[in-house]
Every structure is written in C-alpha cells, then in structure tokens.
Structure 1
Amino acid sequence: MLVFPAERLQALTQAIFERVGAPPDIAQRVAEALVESNLAGHDSHGVIRIPSYVEAVRRGHVIPDARPTVQKESAVLALVDGGWAFGQVSAAFATDLAVRKAREHGLAVVGIVRCTHIGRLGEYPTMAAAQNVASLIVAGGFGGPGATAAPYGGARPLFGTNPLAIGFPVKDRPPVIIDFATTAVAAGKIQVALAKGEPLPPGAILDRHGRPTTDPRDYYEGGMLLPFGGHKGYGLAVAVELLGRVLTGADLFAEPGRGGPVYERSGVLILAIATGAFQDVETVLAEAARTVARIKAVPPAEGFAEVLVPGEPEFRTRAERLRTGLPVPETTWHAIVQTAQSLGLDVSLFGLPATVGG
C-alpha cells in the first residue's frame, strides 16, 4: 500500500482532467470530489475512478467542458439538465440550487437528468447541512445494459446500486450523514477489493450462474450485486428507482452514445428542507445535538468501543488521513500513472512516484 499527501493527489488529478478537455474550474471540482472521497475513507469513489473517468471522456460518454443548466423551474421545483457533464459538477450545481430555494421557501425538490456518475452521495447532504438545510438525495436509473444488481429473489441484474444519502445539521458538531448503496456493497468497493486481492463479504454478490460467491473476479465475469438486508434493501432500491429515474423523466433525455451503458438513463432527485421550516433554526439544531448526545451516551455492546452516529467514521477518517496521507493500492496507482502518461503528464512533477518502486 502506498501513501500520498492529499494535496499532491489533487493537483495531479486536476491536471489529468484538464488534459482531457475540462476547464480548470471543472477539473478542480472533480479532483476535489475524488480526493475528498478518499479522505472520508470511501476509496471506492476516490482517485481509483480516474482511469474510468478518462475512458468515459474518450468514448464520448462524458463531455468534459459541459456545464449543467436549468431545464424548467418554479419557486420550489427545478429540473437540471446535466448535459452529460461530470456528475460531480451537475450534482453540486443542483444541490446549491435546492439549498437556495429551501432557504427561501422552506423546502425544494430538484431533479437532474442527463447525469453521469456523481460520486459519493454523502458529499451533497454535507454541503446542504453547512447551510442549515436537511436533505435527501437518491440516484437511480443505472439499469439497462449496465445493470449490476439483481432484485430480491432474482438471478438476473435489473438495477444499479441505487444509492441514497440523508444529511441533518447539528449544533456545534459535524452533521449526521447517512450514505449507502441499496446493494450489499457498492460496485466501487468490489473494484477496491480486487485491487487489494481481498474477498468480498458473504451475501454481497452472485456469479454469472446466480450462485453465491465472495470472489470479486466473479462480479467482473458476468456476476451481479445483491440488495442489502434482503427484501428491505430491495424495497429501498425500487423506491430510489422510482424517485430518481421515473419521477424525473430521465428516460426521456437519453441520447445514443452519452452516459455509457450505466448512466444513459440515470436520474437524481434532491429534496431539501430548511431546518427553520417548522420552528426556530437554533431550536432545531440544539435538539439535534441533544439527540446525538443521547445516542453517544448509550453504553457500547461487547466488541464495540463506543456508539457512533452516521457520518462520524467519515469525519474521523478525514482528520486522520489529512494528517497521515491517503493510502492507495499499488495496482490502483499503476493504473493512474499509466493514464497520466497516456496524456503526456509526468507524475514526478507533482512530487509523486512514476513507478511503484519509486
């Protein structure tokens, strides 16, 4: 395992995306999002994605200089056309729009269509919580030729990972952030397990014949993801599909060759609610803090050091990795170096090794 300073990885990542045609501000936004995912401990949505993002640009699935626009709008609703831009750009734009509307009107709902991979969903409720806005975000429509997840009881993939995230601000503490895929593992975590040479937990995937397996290679040889919690995770996956794809009308915006097999019909829905919608903001934030304190005061069960609230592991990991650096598997780093070199970039100019042994 290699370890690099976050700022060096971010500088290289931004340079890579500038080389494939992204303006500096867009390249910076995508680089920040990827490195922040690593900092939070979600390596599956971090710099490991660089080679696949570059390939998506080369294939025309992503338009590197595209910017999102508002397709239709009212006081509390908006539909954002991502224009096949980098998903992190579209989702940040839509989150900011939802937050502004919620702060003015109490709540807002914003959909995104023609939207590519938006990265770690928990990033967007974190943005909203920083402005005292509670939020829910769902991302669906990853089916079709790129389907990766079987429905409960099924032996053929129909959905994607169909993730969701919820955020709530807390007085004098980091926000509560709930962020998970509705599958037992996210597809990116299989990529990480493969890079590390580690098995997957039981109950995470089936092989191409519909048989349970823990070998991450089986997933890439025609296997499929399973919903977490059996029928409960499956029920959430269906809800995400209906809200993210069906409600936004994402199918109507599909274009041949754009988005790729996974994201050509994807849609995102953001619900934002001002914490002052029903009572004084400070009252709500203080009660959220008391609620978190009551949770933290519960004695830990055997095998646990303490009770954690959702989002707490990520905030702790971020502080630790800012101090110690970001761990990157050797296979991941090799792929990143190859991608950089294919674009005429010398990674050593960023204070990073051009070879694993460097």
Structure 2
Amino acid sequence: MNDPIAPRRHRQPRGTATERLSLREVRALATAVLRHHGFSDPHVEAVADTLVAGERDGCASHGLYRLLGCIATLRAGKVSPDAMPKLHEMAPALLRVDAMRGFSQVAYKTALPYLIGKARSQGIAALGINRCVHFSALWADIEPLTDAGLVALACTPSHAWVTPAGGSKPLFGTNPLAFGWPRAGQPAFIFDFATSTVARGEIELHRRAGKPIPEGWGIDADGKSCTDAATVLDHGAMLTFGGHKGAALAAMVELLAGPLIADMTSMDSLAYDAGTKSSPMGGELIIAIDPARFLGAQCEAELARAESLFEAMLGQGARLPSQRRYRAREASLRHGVLIPRALYDDAVALLPRGAA
C-alpha cells in the first residue's frame, strides 16, 4: 500500500501545535516506521492496528506516542522484531502462548481463535501470554472477545513504578485491569483502568507538554506529594487509586499475571529492563466466559436483565465506561485525529531522511 505518510497539502503552518491526520495516514506512518526498523510483517500489522486504535478512540497515551517507545525498546535490544509465538494447550480450558520476547499483539492474535473456541466448548477459558513486551491498552484485547459474544477479563503487570498504599518506593506496576460484557446491537460495556491513579503514559504526555500533573498522581523520592512529571517519573513513584483498595488490586494483578502464569512481576520486569526505559516485559492473563454455556435457556432473559442495569445507570445521568471512547471513534472515522506537532515530527524522524 502506497498511502501518503503525511497529508502535505493539508498541513498547517509550522507555528501551529498540531497536525490533522486521517486514520489511514496514521496507519501509513506507523507502518512505514515499523517496517523501516525491521519488524516482520505480522508485527508491523498487529502493532500498527494497536496504535491506530488508540488514536481512533481518543486514547492519545496509547496511540502514535507509543511508536516512539516501540523503536526505543527495539534499539535497546529488549524486543524481538520477528518473534514467532508458540502456542501450548495446558488443559481443556487453559492455554499459554509464548510471545518469544516479541510484542504481545502477535501472540494474542495467534491464540485468540483457540481461546474463543475453548470458551465456547468449556464455558470458560483462560489464556496466559508469556514473555511478551506489553505497551497497549487492554480494551484492545477485550473487544474481540465481546464481539464474539463472550464476557472477558484481562490484566497485566508492567514495570515497578507505583508505590503501595503507605509506602514510598516503587513496587507495583500500573497494573491495568479490564472487563467486557457483550451487548446485542450496541457497543460492549468495557472498562479498562490502571490500578495507579492514572496511566503512566498520561504523566509522560504531561512531561512532553511541560505541564504539571495534578496532586495525588505521584510522589518524589522523599515520599512527598509532587506535581512535577519528570520528578515523579525519574526519581519518585506513582500512587494507586483509592489508597489501600487500589494497592490490593495491584497486588492481585501481580499474582494473577505473574506467578500464576510463571512470568515476571513488575519488580522482575524493571530489573530485566536494566535502565533502558524500554516497554515492560512479562505476562498477561485473559479469561473468557461464554454466557450461553453458563445460562443455557436463561441466557436471553439474563442478558436482558443486564441491559436494565445499564439503562438504570444511564437514567441517573451516569456515563457507561467506554462511551467517551466510542464517541471519539465515530468522530475520528469522519474527521481524522489531531496529533501534536512535536510528536508527529518525532515519529517522522524515525524514517530515513526524505521519506516523509
């Protein structure tokens, strides 16, 4: 495909802060950069899908910005650009896939049809992704399962960036937890949140923009509240949401997607990183449940009862998780997305001179 990397005829004056790109152009840029740096076609396609999805859904911290980290991780020797995942069937309802130190996306795509098949035949199935480099939002792993009519959960550790409640030193990762519930004729009910107060990418974007972070996001090296993004990222620690409750959930994620699937904790991942500031290495646990197998003849009625819950939430003026993301998706499909000029320039700089 010879899509243009940048919409030159539509580019704004150099002094403006953003570039408007179509999703096709975002994909072309991501694909060109990944291919230039030697990623194999399966990894180029799968990683580009993730980056485009992040921009499409208004999740800038997991969009094109992550392309810079992908290349930095490759240059540090912390990810394989052409890894071929190996799938292992552990039991009738259990799968593990070894990502072979590649990004998680290709390993997940390899295992996904088997996970869906096992969930439908057994009623519930679990997949452990091992030895994967992980940078993406978990909703991207949940959506294919809800699209298949399954209930789904996923979690993964990261690097040790987050202090436990009452602590002052990094121990946990941001340790996201995601859940999805299928809805007939409507977008799925999906939430995906870090067990830290905010995703680390949000703090990184504040640092890039030279903006202070809100109180409660992080602490400095002395354990004191800090609003300087660079200090929190480089010398301090992030905080869990909800104090001890968020810390307990973060510990649960460490256990489920670490020792339970024989993979790294966030402390292990940070040690493996050895100061390169690469994307985290470790595991991911995904559980898929088939409501039709669980409920049998009651399935239709119980799914309707679930809809009454969603209607009651909306009836009080609440917003369902992912509603903002779905609205952003509709808008970006029509109008494209705005990319900070500095980020666009950094991404283009990863191409050979004169390629853009």
Please give the range of the TM-score, normalised by the shorter of the 2 chains: 0.7 to 0.9
Residue 194 (structure 1) shift:
1.9
Residue 170 (structure 1) shift:
0.9
Letter in 2 for 1:241: E
Secondary structure (helix, strand or coil) at the match of 2:49 reads helix
Q: TM-score, normalised by structure 1?
A: 0.87
Rounded to whole Å, the distance in 2 between the matches of 1:79 and 1:345 is: 43
Q: Is the CA contact (8 Å cut-off) linking 2:190 and 2:322 kept in structure 1?
A: yes
Rounded to whole Å, the distance in 2 between the matches of 1:283 and 1:259 is: 53
Match of 1:155 in 2: 168
Q: Is the CA contact (8 Å cut-off) linking 1:60 and 1:257 kept in structure 2?
A: no
Q: Is the CA contact (8 Å cut-off) linking 1:133 and 1:272 kept in structure 2?
A: yes
Residue 176 (structure 1) shift:
0.4
Letter in 1 for 2:225: P
Match of 1:114 in 2: 131
Match of 1:49 in 2: 66
Per-residue CA distance 1:261-292 (angstroms, 9 max, x = gap): 66665211111101212224433443332322
Q: In 2 relative to 1, CA 204–6 (structure 1 residues): closer, same or farther, beyond 3 Å?
A: same
| Runs of 5+ consecutive residues of structure 2 not aligned to the other structure | 1-17
Q: Is 1:276 aligned to residue 285 of structure 2?
A: no
Match of 1:291 in 2: 309
Q: Is the CA contact (8 Å cut-off) linking 2:43 and 2:105 kept in structure 1?
A: no
Match of 1:62 in 2: 79
Structure 2 residue aligned with 1:185, among 198, 223, 226? 198
Letter in 2 for 1:53: C
Structure 1 residue aligned with 2:247, among 234, 238, 241? 234
Residue 191 (structure 1) shift:
1.5
Q: Is the CA contact (8 Å cut-off) linking 2:178 and 2:193 kept in structure 1?
A: yes
Match of 1:331 in 2: 342
Residue 122 (structure 1) shift:
0.7
Rounded to whole Å, the distance in 2 between the matches of 1:101 and 1:16 is: 36
Rounded to whole Å, the distance in 1 between the matches of 2:107 and 2:194 is: 20
Secondary structure (helix, strand or coil) at the match of 1:178 reads strand
Secondary structure (helix, strand or coil) at the match of 1:268 reads strand
Q: In 2 relative to 1, CA 96–182 (structure 1 residues): closer, same or farther, beyond 3 Å?
A: farther
Residue 219 (structure 1) shift:
2.2
Per-residue CA distance 1:84-136 (angstroms, 9 max, x = gap): 11222223334443222101211101111101114010111111000001110
Q: In 2 relative to 1, CA 162–108 (structure 1 residues): closer, same or farther, beyond 3 Å?
A: same
Residue 256 (structure 1) shift:
6.5
Rounded to whole Å, the distance in 2 between the matches of 1:187 and 1:257 is: 16
Q: Is the CA contact (8 Å cut-off) linking 1:178 and 1:310 kept in structure 2?
A: yes
Per-residue CA distance 1:287-335 (angstroms, 9 max, x = gap): 332322222122x3xxxxxx21111111111111222221212221221
**How large is the Cα RMSD of the aligned pairs?**
2.3
Q: In 2 relative to 1, CA 86–265 (structure 1 residues): closer, same or farther, beyond 3 Å?
A: closer
Secondary structure (helix, strand or coil) at the match of 1:209 reads coil
Residue 7 (structure 1) shift:
0.7
Q: In 2 relative to 1, CA 35–93 (structure 1 residues): closer, same or farther, beyond 3 Å?
A: same
Q: Is 1:313 aligned to residue 331 of structure 2?
A: no
Q: In 2 relative to 1, CA 238–320 (structure 1 residues): closer, same or farther, beyond 3 Å?
A: same
Q: Kindly tell me the number of residue pairs found equivalent between the two proteins.
A: 334
Q: TM-score, normalised by structure 2?
A: 0.87
Q: In 2 relative to 1, CA 257–314 (structure 1 residues): closer, same or farther, beyond 3 Å?
A: closer
Q: Is the CA contact (8 Å cut-off) linking 1:96 and 1:128 kept in structure 2?
A: no
Letter in 2 for 1:240: V
Match of 1:216 in 2: 229
Q: Is the CA contact (8 Å cut-off) linking 2:69 and 2:279 kept in structure 1?
A: no
Rounded to whole Å, the distance in 1 between the matches of 2:273 and 2:230 is: 27
Q: Is the CA contact (8 Å cut-off) linking 2:181 and 2:188 kept in structure 1?
A: yes
Match of 1:355 in 2: none
Give % identity: 32
Q: Is the CA contact (8 Å cut-off) linking 1:90 and 1:118 kept in structure 2?
A: no
